[in-house]
Amino acid sequence: MARLALLSTSNKTGLIDLARSLVEEFEFDIISSGGTATVLKEAGIPVTKVAEYTGSPEILGGRVKTLHPRIHGGILARRDVPQDLTDLNENQIRAIDLVVVNLYPFEETIAKPGVTLTDAIEQIDIGGPALLRASAKNHAHLTVLCDPEQYNTYVAEMRQNGGEASLKFRQRCALETFKHTANYDRAIATYLSSQSAEESSLPEQFNLSGKELQTLRYGENPHQAATWYQSGSIPTGWTTSTILQGKELSYNNLVDLEAARRLIVEFPDTPAAAILKHTNPCGTALGKTISEAYQKAFDTDSVSAFGGIVALNRPIDAATATALTQTFLECIVAPGCEPEAEEIIKKKAKVRVLILPDLTQGPPQTVKIIAGGLLVQESDNIVEETSKWRTVTEKQPTATELEELLFAWKVAKHVKSNAIVVTRDRTTIGVGAGQMNRVGSVKLALEQAAEKSKGAILASDGFFPFDDSVKTAAEAGIIAIVQPGGSMRDRDSIEAANQLGITMVFTDIRHFLH
């Protein structure tokens, strides 16, 4: 008797070629549900509908098709257990040797704009996961395929082994199946949690999963292995980027690129450029054109820009491309690249150039793994509103100064704490990052700004615990400071600012970045 294959697929990619090989090369009989059977029949491939095989019609609008003892008995029967074989014989059940199933497109459905909860629920597959899990459990006796990408590999395996799939191959397919169903359930749970009014922004149970996208050369250092995983079955964020040119991306490249993306999206309305090293911005600027913005950012700290990561919020044009080729850069990311600019950048063949059309696609949470668990927090995506800021000094900021304070504050949000940023003309001129005390960061930023600090703005990601930072800033010529406030000694800093003629604004929001 011919072997029996069950094919029930939502994604019909590669289905016809697989089915034809099963019938013509390996002498399988095929049973299929609904739409899959129709596609096979139209292609001239002999197939029996599941409803005909079981004697039970599809019911409930297709919600019940394959949930039947003749199906699951044929899948779960152990061929080396006599009682199982007796049960098959007495119930006229054929053993199933191959199960090919892919699931309803739940994640694709919920990704569509305006999808309703009812629409989403109808795309929760029931019979599919049951078939996959049963088949994977009994992989000692049959093969299960859950992804069209496996079809050609399966056919090659069968050809190589005289029409049989090895146990090792079946085990590998079973593992992939359990990963697949686990990720499917995770996507459903995550979505339903987001729809529940009773759920907080962070769920009671947090699940992490990912599909290997690319093995990286190494991690932060050559002795550390690293891999890039895609979260979810639908590409989002960096997995949607196009790599125009350059060497293979590294772990550090991707970490820096994400930091650059988070910073550049702070400035959607004006051409902006940011240059980062080790996730810290060494130059950020706004300009009338993207070329002007990049040049201003580069001139901020041309030494640190060497080997940096550049993020642009406008497509790369010829003028910007020419400027980009004047120094060594690791990576460039932009929402687009003009053809002429692409030809110019090719002169620097090793620089990695990525096109990410939607720079705003970021994760709703950030995750850090610690011993024995995870730390999860909402991403720091708060919208800055100067109308909610408080001027705490006698001297009030002008409209122009307020705009500059906002620019400096947005940049400081993306500098490792303790963070100090000095700016003028919507351009960073000094950055103090990651120091163990705040006045140390102030001194570093002002030292870098040098004479340019006269008449400039200073932003601090956290409050000043003492008035020493205010006095140091005043000595350098700073005219206005923006900081969260909240220190027990705020009054000392305010009084120092009043005595020194400095404007000070409190945001009442802190932006630590660790």
- Tokens 């992939």, located at residue: 176
Under DSSP, the state recorded for 249 is P
Helices (H), 1-139: 15-24, 34-42, 50-54, 69-76, 82-90, 106-110, 117-122, 127-137
Residues designated catalytic: 137, 278
Q: Which residue, among 454, 419, 483, 108, has the nearest Cα to 284 in the 3D structure?
A: 419
Q: Tokens standing for 108?
A: 């694709």
Q: Beta strand 480-483 with 503-506: parallel, antiparallel or unpaired?
A: parallel
Two tokens, residue 187: 């996507």
User: How many whole angstroms separate alpha carbon 308 and alpha carbon 302?
Assistant: 10
3-state secondary structure of 78: coil
Q: Please state, in angstroms and as integers, the Cα–Cα distance from residue 156 to each residue in 45, 77, 409, following that order.
A: 20, 26, 59
Kindly write down the DSSP assignment for every residue of 86-118, as one continuous string. HHHHHTT-PPP-EEEEE---HHHHHTSTT--HH
DSSP class per residue in 415-431: SPSS-EEEEETTEEEEE
Contact present, 509 and 485 (Cβ < 8 Å): no
> Which tokens in the block code for residue 134?
């049963």
Is-contact 157 143, C-beta < 8 A?
A: no
**Among 397, 502, 417, residue whose Cα is nearest residue 463:** 417
Looking at residue 65, its amino acid is K
Smallest CA-to-CA distance from 281 within 430, 404, 406, 383 is with 430
φ and ψ at 27, to 5 degrees?
Answer: 55, 45
- For residue 367, what are the CA distances in angstroms to 116, 276, 363, 461? 29, 22, 10, 21
Reading the block at residue 118, the tokens are: 């009812």
Q: What are the φ/ψ torsions at residue 103 (nearest 5 degrees)?
A: -95, 160
Contacts 24+ apart (CB under 8 A), 16-24: 16/40, 16/43, 16/45, 17/151, 18/100, 18/151, 18/154, 18/155, 19/43, 19/45, 19/47, 20/45, 21/155, 21/158, 22/98
What spatial distance separates the first Cα and last Cα of the chain, rounded to whole Å? 65
Q: Assess contact for 347 and 366: CB atoms under 8 A.
A: no
CB 333 within 8 A of CB 238: no
Which amino acid is residue 496, in one-letter code?
A
> Beta 457-460 vs 427-432: how paired, if at all?
unpaired
